[in-house]
Amino acid sequence: MKENTVLKDLLAEDFAHRETLANGQAKSSSFQQRKNAFQQFETLGFPTPRNEEWKYSNVKNLVNESYSFNRPAHLTEADLAALSIPDLVGNIIYFVNGVYQPGLSNLVSPAEQVLISPLREAWKTHPDLLASYFNKLAKNEEEAFTALNTAFADEGLFIHVPEGKVVEQPVILRFVSDARGENTGCMSRVVVAVEKTAQVKFVESFRTIGDGKVFTNMVTEISVAPSANVEYYKVQIESGNTHHIGTTQVRMLDRSQFYAATVTLEGGFVRNNLNIELDGQYCEAHMYGLYLPDGKQHIDNHTLADHRQPNSYSNELYKGVLLDQSVGVFNGKVFVRPDAQKTNAYQSCKNVVLSPGAKMNTKPQLEIFADDVKCSHGTTTGQLDDEALFYLRSRGIPKKEALGLLMFAFCEDVLSNIRIEPIREHLEKIVARKLNAEEE
Amino acid sequence: MLRIKGLRASIGDKEILNGIDLEINPGEVHAIMGPNGSGKSTLASVLAGREDYEVTAGSIEYKGADLLEKAPEERAAEGIFLAFQYPVEIPGVTTINFLKTAVNEIRKYNGQNPLDAAQFLKLVREKAKLVNMNDSLLKRALNEGFSGGEKKRNEIFQMAVMEPTLAILDETDSGLDIDALRIVSEGVNKLRSPERSTIVVTHYQRLLDYIVPDFVHVLYKGRIVKSGPKELALELEEKGYDWIKKEAADVV
């Protein structure tokens, strides 16, 4: 629907301004792509629940607010201390309000293992390399938020792992929204290219400071070359005033492996799209997800495993614990295209609804056009297992502790798949704290 | 130690226990036998505090206090242990962590300091030996993917760690082969003491070859219709339950 909103008008003004700033660059092919994307955004308009993909997630509270985009901010020592993750070693890159922060970032991996460069710089130092990956996977024509991110892609990061290189230390992107005193908008673009037989682990972590309204709109494009191996973790601990819309678009080629875990512990309105094209043979894709909404939080995960070639495997496990009046959405699509014979695709989504006011909407969506495939899906939404609860209590564990133990175990099923130990332990602590505090 | 008087219990509209009277003294082993559906497992569950059952009449006194008022975890902390007929699989909780939580919660209830890691490990090793429990099972998620025999052995292992004053074995023999039956029974027998009492719920006599009871009670249609010495179990083995049913019918 094309009606104008406060935000849409504001964005049009902002984009025109960026175009004048781009000056000499405005004629470049990358800026031309951005301009096209902005037109696509204007054509598509913000989605409404009439759009099937947005049926359960209404952005009406987002689109009539104004936000200040890529606003400069200063984090104090105390802010940084509150954000720190104990024992975490790796390449740590900070973005505040969408803007790269060289002073807070620290790269530890040698340059021959991996190129980690902010987009602005990468356009200067590696223009051809970046151009061959930038905006190659994003679906601007289908998704308004993606088109919007492409149009505004001044800020962001380029990660390139050359053929055969194994990046030993993880790459950790920390996106911080500082919404003290003002509504803040953050748009960053992450472009990841992992060449043949190369390996990398990377994390996108999202946090907010302050109580202003936040609009985060992220797009991450990940190209996984033949026999490459990528681990990707997305961790969201954002304020209740945040709208986070993020799309991760992945393309996998022959014999590559992609491993994702998306953990959403706090947020206001969250929509994660994780779309994986298995465009090669003998690929292996794993998707894990965990969400723990409480209060009036709304957490929506849309995933896609798009099997385009024969002999590949995808496996998906998403789990949620819903409290208070929170809402969860899971839409898991599995496409098996006519050529994709011998596909193995599995999907499971399990939810525990702990409060009568909470609601979970699940929609598995399997579209299979090949005949020799193995696919399964299952979704469950219910209470905790009473039998298990009685078993624990009959061994002397009080009800509150037994519930805590069972819920933690339920979540651990996903958390245990996070293979960067300090991050896993950090999340386990937050989950344990949240579950104990909630369950009275 | 345990005094059950006129106990009636139902699930939904269905009355399952129909007036049970039973008294158990320290050190005694009582076998509860009876045909399927007679209420044996219900009795075991009511003693452990399962909330699915509603007690509609009667009383249970344990160590001189009203048991029915107490939550399952309080009953456990005061020494009641139910070995489940169908032990529950709990993914994501390791046996060892579960047991440590349980032991220390019980110690807390009884005003004792928690065991530290070393003390706990020593206790676990010692008890694992008692039932030939493999160390690797302890690190696995509780009962997840355990065979029937491993699950039952895990129950007896937990019982050994908890050292209950009243152990209730609910059809512990079901699904066990002879070797497992022998190991489980040996475990139970090693725990017998003048302070500890045991209720053995079973359908068949064969478990009672290994765990020899002091008394045998026959439960039928929610009531104890016959009680006797251990020889009663042999008689039941030989003649089946039909004569009991007939006798019960004649009484009514």
Given B73, B75, B92, which is nearest A410 (Cβ)?
Answer: B92
Residues of A in contact with B82 (CB under 8 A): 394
Q: Phi and psi at residue A125, in whole multiples of 5°?
A: -85, -35
Taking an 8 Å cut-off on Cβ atoms, the answer to whether A396 and B51 are in contact is: no
pLDDT in tens, A150-187: 999 999 999 999 999 999 999 999 999 999 988 999 99
**A321-325, B131-135, B139-143 — which is least confidently predicted?**
B131-135
Q: Which residues contact B113 (CB under 8 A, 6 or more apart)?
A: B107
Given A387, A393, A413, which is nearest B73 (Cβ)?
Answer: A393
Interface confidence (ipTM) of the complex = 0.95
Q: What is the pTM of this model?
A: 0.86
Which residue of chain A comes nearest to B73, CA vs CA? A396
Report residue A71's pLDDT band, with 50, 70 and 90 as the boundaries. confident
- Which of A395, A401, A408, A416 to probe the B interface (max B CBs under 10 A)? A395
Tell me how close the Cα of B242 comes to any Cα of chain A, in angstroms: 34
pLDDT in tens, A12-43: 999 999 888 877 777 788 899 999 999 999 99
- A60: burial class by Cβ within 10 Å (0-12, 13-18, 19+)? exposed
DSSP-derived pairing of the beta strands B223-228 and B215-220: antiparallel
Q: Which residues contact B13 (CB under 8 A, 6 or more apart)?
A: none
Which residue of chain A comes nearest to B107, CA vs CA? A396
Cα–Cα distances (Å) from A423 to A38, A176, A203, B240, in that order, read: 36, 17, 9, 62
Which residue of chain A comes nearest to B74, CA vs CA? A396
The pLDDT, as a whole number, for residue A440 is: 39
- Residue A92 structure tokens: 């740590």
Q: CB of B157 within 8 A of CB of B133? A: yes
The pLDDT, as a whole number, for residue A3 is: 64
CA distance A417 to A316: 12
Q: Which of A344, A411, A356 is nearest to A383 (CA)?
A: A356
Taking an 8 Å cut-off on Cβ atoms, the answer to whether A391 and B105 are in contact is: no
pLDDT in tens, B19-68: 999 999 999 999 999 988 899 999 999 999 999 999 999 999 999 999 99
- Which of B81, B86, B105, B139 to probe the A interface (max A CBs under 10 A)? B105
Task: Measure the CA angle with vertex A62, ends A56 and A63; round to 5°.
Answer: 105
CA distance A141 to A4: 19
Taking an 8 Å cut-off on Cβ atoms, the answer to whether A391 and B88 are in contact is: yes
- Residue B54 structure tokens: 């509603």
